[in-house]
């Protein structure tokens, strides 16, 4: 049996550490040639480094193929060049995993506009820039052949974006925006056959270790593959490999939580209760009663009504 991703070329952003490193190793294991993109920053986005080379070495030592790239995902020119480089050096780009991320946690009253902008830049603009660059290539290819292309984008959201998390208004907004990007782009690319999904991963990484009481980071290659550790940040990587594979061509616009031993298909923003005023405008003064009985009713558990 051939490998799941034989002959495919994949870009994984921010794959020098943590969750992205796990994805890169997994994609390479299944036969993809992987571009290890990583700017090599601190958790809050400062500095640069060559950690991507380390991951390339691990993949090559395991008999796989990879090249490193040190571009900044938030830089338009660098992302366009990176996608061009994939085509000129590796002949194609089939899979883009948008994973690079930083955090600058603070309660909103202590958060600077720079903390907001930089987090949005890396997560949202970064995911959008790689997506646009590759979407342009796939669209060109589809026009030339008059048919469908092989294209997979896998974005990275988070519990903070899906449910909220204290101290992360910037990060939560960015991770929720990534779901909007995923769903909208999946509609735009459907006609050319490319899919766009998001995963909500987890595990102990440099990033999660910044939160009080969290475990020390684990790098995916620094633990035995056959030992199960629920905090291993690479436990969601098989889901990424499958979503990237030919088998998942029918899955698009979806959010999959891939964390620990569990896989969950998530769906949000479905109506919980609908009340009609039968062709008439509502009156605000009467809504208290309507909300108490017909909208929220007994379904208050889980509602955050202050506090």
Ligand X SMILES: NC(=O)c1ccc[n+]([C@@H]2O[C@H](COP(=O)([O-])OP(=O)(O)OC[C@H]3O[C@@H](n4cnc5c(N)ncnc54)[C@H](O)[C@@H]3O)[C@@H](O)[C@H]2O)c1
Q: Applying CB under 6 A, does 24 fall inside the site for ligand X?
A: no
Q: Which residues of 6-16 are buried (b: 16+ CB within 10 A; e: fewer)?
A: eebbbbbbbbb
Taking the least distance from each CB to ligand X, the nearer of 66 and 192 is 66
Cβ of residue 6: shortest distance to ligand X, in angstroms? Answer: 26
Among 92, 165, 206, 231, binds ligand X (CB under 6 A): 206
Distance CA 163, CA 269 (A): 11
Q: Applying CB under 6 A, does 13 fall inside the site for ligand X?
A: yes
Listed in order, strand segments (DSSP E) in 22-86 are 33-37, 65-69
Known catalytic residues are: 158, 171, 175
- 8 closest CA partner among 106, 180, 154, 171: 154
Taking the least distance from each CB to ligand X, the nearer of 32 and 103 is 103
Q: Applying CB under 6 A, does 158 fall inside the site for ligand X?
A: yes
Interacting residues with ligand X between 128 and 157 (CB under 6 A): 156
Of all residues in the shown chain, the one whose CB is closest to ligand X is 18
Among 10, 24, 32, 39, binds ligand X (CB under 6 A): 39
Taking the least distance from each CB to ligand X, the nearer of 49 and 249 is 49
- 100 closest CA partner among 153, 162, 21, 160: 21
- Number of amino acids touching ligand X (CB under 6 A): 34
Distance CA 162, CA 173 (A): 9
Q: What angle do CA 37, 38, 42 make, to 5 degrees?
A: 170
79 close to 133: Cβ distance less than 8 angstroms: yes
Q: Which sign, positive or negative, has the C-alpha torsion 215, 220, 224, 226? A: positive
Cβ of residue 139: shortest distance to ligand X, in angstroms? Answer: 25
Residues paired with residue 273 on neighbouring β-strands, in sequence order: none
Among 40, 167, 193, 249, binds ligand X (CB under 6 A): 40
Q: Applying CB under 6 A, does 12 fall inside the site for ligand X?
A: no
253 close to 187: Cβ distance less than 8 angstroms: yes
Q: Applying CB under 6 A, does 100 fall inside the site for ligand X?
A: yes
Cβ of residue 143: shortest distance to ligand X, in angstroms? Answer: 30
- Where along the sequence are the contacts to ligand X (CB under 6 A)? 13-14, 16-20, 37-41, 43, 45, 51, 72-74, 99-102, 122, 126, 156, 158, 201-203, 205-208, 233
């Amino acid at each position: 049996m051939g490998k799941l991703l034989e002959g495919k070329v994949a870009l994984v952003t921010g794959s020098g550490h943590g969750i992205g490193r796990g994805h890169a190793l997994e994609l390479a294991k299944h036969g993809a040639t992987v571009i290890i993109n990583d700017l090599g920053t601190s958790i809050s986005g400062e500095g640069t480094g060559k950690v991507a080379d380390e991951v390339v070495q691990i993949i090559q030592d395991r008999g796989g193929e990879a090249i490193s790239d040190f571009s900044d995902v938030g830089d338009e020119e660098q992302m366009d060049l990176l996608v061009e480089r994939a085509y000129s050096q590796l002949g194609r780009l089939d899979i883009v995993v948008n994973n690079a991320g930083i955090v600058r946690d603070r309660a909103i009253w202590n958060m600077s506009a720079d903390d907001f902008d930089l987090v949005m830049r890396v997560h949202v603009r970064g995911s959008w820039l790689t997506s646009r660059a590759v979407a342009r290539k796939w669209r060109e290819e589809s026009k030339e052949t008059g048919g469908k292309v092989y294209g997979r984008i896998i974005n990275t959201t988070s519990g903070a974006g899906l449910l909220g998390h204290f101290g992360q208004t910037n990060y939560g907004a960015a991770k929720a925006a990534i779901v909007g990007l995923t769903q909208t782009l999946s509609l735009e690319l459907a006609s050319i056959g490319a899919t766009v999904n998001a995963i909500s991963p987890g595990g102990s990484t440099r990033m999660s270790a910044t939160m009080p009481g969290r475990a020390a980071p684990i790098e995916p290659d620094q633990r035995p593959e056959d030992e199960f550790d629920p905090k291993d940040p690479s436990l969601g990587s098989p889901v990424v490999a499958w979503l990237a594979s030919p088998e998942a061509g029918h899955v698009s616009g979806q959010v999959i939580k891939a964390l620990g031993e569990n896989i969950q298909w998530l769906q949000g923003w479905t109506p919980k209760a609908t009340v009609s005023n039968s062709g008439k405008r509502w009156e605000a003064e009467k809504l208290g009663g309507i909300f108490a009985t017909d909208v929220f009713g007994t379904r208050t558990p889980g509602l955050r009504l202050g506090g």
